[in-house]
Amino acid sequence: MTDQNSLITELKAIVGDTYVVHEPDDLIVYEYDGSVDKGLPLAVVLPDSAQDVSLVVNAARTHRAPIVARGAGTGLSGGAVASEGGIVIALTRMTRILEVDVENRIAVVEPGLVNLELSNAVSGHGLYFAPDPSSQKVCTIGGNVAENAGGPHCLAYGVTTNHVLGMEVVLADGSIQWLGDRTRESTGYDLRGVLVGSEGTLAIVTKVILRLLKKPEAVKTLLAVFKELDDASAAVSGIIGAGIVPAALEMMDDLCIEAAEASVHAGYPDGAGAVLLVEVDGLSEAVEEESEEIQRICRQFGPMEIRTATDAGERERLWAGRKGVLGALGRLAPNYYLVDGTIPRTKLVEVLARIKEMSVESGFPIANLLHAGDGNLHPSVLFDERKPGDTKKALEIGGRILELCVEVGGVLSGEHGIGLEKQEYMPLMFSEADMNAMARLKPAFATGDLFNPGKVFPTGASCADVFQAAVSKVGPGAWI
Amino acid sequence: MVERVFQRPADALGEITNHNDAYSIDGLQPTAVCLSDLQGLSDALSEAAKDGLAVAPWGGGTRAAIGNRPARLDRILDLSRLSRIVHYNPADLTATVEAGISVAELQRHLAEQGQFLAIDPPLPDRATVGGTLAVGGSGPTKWQFGHPRDLVLGMKVVQADGTVVSSGGQVVKNVSGYDMARLHVGGLGTLGVIAEVSFKLTPLPQGEATLVAAFDSTTRCLAAGLAVFHSVVTPLALAAYDAAVDERAHVAPVKGHHLLAVRLGGRPLTLQRALRECRSLCHQGGATTVEALGEADAVAAWRKLADFGWDEATAPLMSARASVPPTKLAEIVETIANGDSPAALRCETLCHVGYGTALIHWFADGPEPPTHAIAEVATRARKAVHAVGGRMNIERCPLPVKAGLDMWDQVGEPIAIMRRLKEQYDPGNVLNPGRFVGGI
């Protein structure tokens, strides 16, 4: 028996034959995540408990097979792409809500639980889980933890790390430990805190204790349409400057509007150059006072139209254009490269102008969708992979946008993570010493580089080469 | 640059005259270096590392009592002059500051632009940003997330060998590399010295109001606090304290056995509504009195509640900080404050309701009880906290008590990872050796 076969036999003994996928045809569905890279693992294992995970980790370590943990595979930076010849631990069977403690506003869940299902399950208690990445109908809590996921509403309520109290994890030596607990203040180093956003490189999460928030009494959504992008950006600054931190503050440019109009018929006026979506929530008085102030600020910048909605159905219609836009980009070009970076809010006008210049110079249209409130940009470079050389050029434009983000004081990733996609860009933000300090977390967690090797840190290859292996197809399966 | 090496603490005290044992940690009196820039801090650390000197970073010295007694201590690195605001653009709601700036000074600058940093340590005129983060615990202000670590966007740290390293960034949303700052918040300077921090800021509410309600039992008081926590209102701060705290600190002109203070903020109609809701919840919860404080009284009350136990007027013999699930606060306060005590100590408590923090202070009315009796009080309190799934760290106690009692609660199996972290980042064991968990 070859070593590979004996590993597969061991894995089957742990989780049962049904839950080890190793035939090449079956493995293909696990080859991709939401990004553009791919890798074919030796086997995919679907454990049902922390004990299973621990035994799988022990078996893989003995056979020197690297491990990649995977949730729903919606990540956009290649974090869940398998290592060639390694093991994928798919956590999609571990979906239980183990406990909801309404009085203390805590939920204990397994990592394979889908984000939105948690909010749905606790909704009857007037509670919800705040991080709401756009993929929340399919992405898992474990994946949210690995990538420190955000979402439109993290402007007011914070990203995943602000909502994780404790985690049960399996370390590379197979031991099962708790980092953090049900209380808000930790003793010793905040290991829970460094693990969130570590992209699956330090441990495998098998249970998570989450904070739940109470649902607001009232919610109001405002949609303001402007002729010029600059006016919309100025309105964003005005709203924040007035001391309002809305629950969400989203923006899209003319190309996005064109695409959304064509696909979901959002009813935006002709000649619209930018759409701003603002959501406020809280006490009904706060919602009224803040929405009035926001409308007053928007009117200063000559909007073409302002619409408001308070009931759920109407609010959903205002959001429809924004939520459908990525799928709609397919009407404009066969492919797109979706970039994720964050800049200081005050640099919005400057950075959008420079992205426009890049688009004009290169001849590649760039559609801009922004979580404007927190400066998180999602420019999409539109291209056609059938034209020789265009894929590489599109990726290079993406790289230049990231360089620009860092140049104005921003960062390489707002919410998608570094993964494979951006590992070669890390030196733009961090010195050798900075990265060396980060890399020492691996020996501290004694990972032996077993978990998700070759990710996050630069390898010295060129970004475009690493990333050109495949390119995202436009479609409804991608979220931001 | 390195300004001066002081051989005797008194020499270093030009400005800080009210603090006679400046730079002393648990009776150890090391030499001190005052630093005024990042390069100086880096040089001081690399020099100390070369000479094998054990160092302790020092901000305002307000909470030097925290931690176990240092195993060694040769030199204090005083960062209080590393106090520039490096970058502040109000429209971004972010600021980058050097670690030695006092919290009060930073808040003054931010307030001019209608903003604040939602951290609230004791003695903010002296407490520095870096020291507050290194110690880690939060004050009564729980706006946004509650814990200081959730407001940190990025950090520059000087490692034990003098290398300066950065992590995070200056923007509010970021997943670029590991979130290293998390290790230093609450890490008591044992993995590196916090030199510069980028923060997420909050707009000051347009208006504020504070209600104080009196109750005749701990249980009722804390239950009313939880009712506010579960209501549609999101208070800026929610604190419960007992009459003894009020007698000692004169918190507010509302009297009663058990008091609940609710701090609210917002635009005018929002504030009126929030006040109405909280008043009604307090009355429903059996309050004997509910009063709104005047502006000056409210400011003073929150200052006194944050300072309690750390200013000279209220300095206790022993203090502990317990973190428990919020619904368990009443139970542990009842057990610890009202149970039998092996020593003649008076126990006074202050709780951050809804967050699950109990600050427990013990005062000796008469002569100081024997060391073993004081230690026994702490041990019993810790057992009570463990029984409800919480943890308790002792933040201050007489020095002889430290000898036989771990100031930190147990951290369980992850101690192995923590020890390896220390080996990775401070292999020479020169940063605050022995003061942290598990002898780190």
pLDDT tens figures, A107-162: 999 999 999 999 999 999 999 999 998 889 999 999 999 999 988 888 899 999 99
d(CA A293, CA A260): 28
d(CA B381, CA B389): 13
List the 425-444 stretch of A: residues with Cβ below 8 A of B.
426, 429-431, 433-438, 440-441, 443-444
How confident is the model at residue B11, as a pLDDT? 39
How confident is the model at residue B103, as a pLDDT? 97
Q: Does A217 contact chain B (CB < 8 Å)? A: yes
Percent of chain B exceeding pLDDT 90 equals: 88
Q: Does B67 contact chain A (CB < 8 Å)? A: no
B234–A342: do the CB atoms touch at under 8 Å?
no
User: Which residues of chain B lie closer than 8 angstroms to A188, CB-CB?
Assistant: 408, 411, 414-415, 418, 436-438
In this structure, what token pair is assigned to residue A446?
């004694």
A245–B93: do the CB atoms touch at under 8 Å?
yes
d(CA B170, CA A419): 21
Mean pLDDT check: name the lowest of B11-25, B257-271, B370-384: B11-25
At residue B19 the predicted structure's pLDDT band, cuts being 50, 70 and 90, is very low
Judged against a pLDDT cut of 70, whether residue B206 lies above it is answered with yes
List the 365-384 stretch of B: residues with Cβ below 8 A of A.
none
How confident is the model at residue A406, as a pLDDT? 96
CA A63 to chain centre: 32
User: Which residues of chain A lie closer than 8 angstroms to B421, CB-CB?
Assistant: 189, 441, 444
List the one residue out of B62, B229, B241 whose CA is nearest residue B134: B62
Q: Does B269 contact chain A (CB < 8 Å)? A: yes
Closest residue in A to B191 (Cα) is A189
Q: Does B439 contact chain A (CB < 8 Å)? A: no
Report helix, strand or coil for B140.
coil
How confident is the model at residue A461, as a pLDDT? 65
User: Which residues of chain B lie closer than 8 angstroms to A245, CB-CB?
Assistant: 93, 202-203
Q: Does B303 contact chain A (CB < 8 Å)? A: no
Judged against a pLDDT cut of 50, whether residue B6 lies above it is answered with no
How confident is the model at residue A479, as a pLDDT? 45
Q: Does B202 contact chain A (CB < 8 Å)? A: yes
Q: Does B296 contact chain A (CB < 8 Å)? A: no
Whether the CA torsion B244, B249, B255, B260 is positive or negative: it is negative
List the 166-185 stretch of A: residues with Cβ below 8 A of B.
171, 175, 177-179, 181-185
Q: Does A13 contact chain B (CB < 8 Å)? A: no
How confident is the model at residue A29, as a pLDDT? 80
Decide if B163 contacts B192 (C-beta within 8 A): no
Cβ within 8 Å of residue A28, ≥6 positions away: A40
In sequence order, the β-bridge partners of residue A381 are: A337, A366
Cβ within 8 Å of residue A26, ≥6 positions away: none
In sequence order, the β-bridge partners of residue B102 are: B128
B269–A289: do the CB atoms touch at under 8 Å?
yes
Closest residue in B to A144 (Cα) is B175
List the one residue out of B29, B17, B104, B24 whose CA is nearest residue B65: B24
pLDDT in tens, B312-323: 889 999 999 999
Mean pLDDT check: name the lowest of A87-96, A213-222, B22-31, B177-186: B22-31
B171–A411: do the CB atoms touch at under 8 Å?
yes
List the one residue out of A136, A161, A128 whose CA is nearest residue A147: A161
d(CA B16, CA A476): 64
How confident is the model at residue B21, as a pLDDT? 63
Report helix, strand or coil for B372.
helix
d(CA A109, CA A210): 8
Cβ within 8 Å of residue A297, ≥6 positions away: A235, A238, A239, A242
A342–B169: do the CB atoms touch at under 8 Å?
yes
In this structure, what token pair is assigned to residue B218?
């701990």
d(CA A7, CA A42): 9
How confident is the model at residue A178, as a pLDDT? 97
Q: Which domains does chain A have, with CATH numbers?
A: 3-90 (3.30.43.10), 97-214 (3.30.465.10), 217-325 (3.30.70.3450), 333-480 (3.30.70.2740)
How confident is the model at residue A464, as a pLDDT? 52
d(CA A290, CA A19): 52
Judged against a pLDDT cut of 60, whether residue B170 lies above it is answered with yes
Mean pLDDT of A67-76: 91
d(CA A425, CA A64): 29
- The overall average pLDDT reported for chain A is 91
d(CA A333, CA A339): 16
- Torsion, Cα B340 B342 B343 B344, to 10 degrees, reads 30
Report helix, strand or coil for A398.
helix
Mean pLDDT of A316-338: 87
pLDDT in tens, B223-239: 999 999 999 999 999 99
Mean pLDDT of A7-33: 91
How confident is the model at residue A90, as a pLDDT? 97
List the 56-95 stretch of A: residues with Cβ below 8 A of B.
none
How confident is the model at residue A4, as a pLDDT? 85
DSSP A108: E
Decide if A205 contacts A195 (C-beta within 8 A): yes
In sequence order, the β-bridge partners of residue A232 are: none
User: Which residues of chain A lie closer than 8 angstroms to B409, CB-CB?
Assistant: 187
A374–B274: do the CB atoms touch at under 8 Å?
no
In this structure, what token pair is assigned to residue A386?
């059938």
List the 285-324 stretch of A: residues with Cβ below 8 A of B.
285-286, 288-290, 293
In this structure, what token pair is assigned to residue B168?
């995070």
B176–A426: do the CB atoms touch at under 8 Å?
yes
How confident is the model at residue B10, as a pLDDT? 37
At residue A470 the predicted structure's pLDDT band, cuts being 50, 70 and 90, is very low
Q: Tell me the C-alpha to C-alpha distance, in Å, between residue B189 and each of B117, B119, B130, B398, B440.
A: 22, 19, 9, 23, 11
DSSP A24: H
Decide if B391 contacts B407 (C-beta within 8 A): no
Q: Please report which residue ranges of B164-203 form alpha helices under DSSP H.
A: 181-184
Task: Give B269 to chain A, closest Cα distance, Å.
Answer: 6
How confident is the model at residue B7, as a pLDDT? 40
ipTM confidence: 0.94
Task: Give A265 to chain B, closest Cα distance, Å.
Answer: 31
Mean pLDDT of B188-205: 97
B167–A438: do the CB atoms touch at under 8 Å?
yes
* Residue whose pair of structure tokens reads 């078996």 in the numeric block: A59
Q: Does B203 contact chain A (CB < 8 Å)? A: yes
Q: Does B185 contact chain A (CB < 8 Å)? A: yes
Decide if A199 contacts A456 (C-beta within 8 A): yes
Percent of chain B exceeding pLDDT 70 equals: 95
R_g over Cα of chain A = 23
Cβ within 8 Å of residue B54, ≥6 positions away: B48, B70, B71, B72, B73, B74, B75, B429, B430, B431, B432, B433
Mean pLDDT check: name the lowest of A323-337, A389-403, B152-166: A323-337
User: Which residues of chain B lie closer than 8 angstroms to A244, CB-CB?
Assistant: 203
Neighbours of A300 (CB within 10 A): 11
| Residues A181-206 as b or e (16 or more Cβ within 10 Å = b) | bbbbbbbbbbbbbbbbbbbbbbbbbb
How confident is the model at residue A463, as a pLDDT? 52
Q: Which domains does chain B have, with CATH numbers?
A: 2-78 (3.30.43.10), 85-203 (3.30.465.10), 207-307 (3.30.70.2190), 316-404 (3.30.70.2740)
Q: Does B186 contact chain A (CB < 8 Å)? A: yes
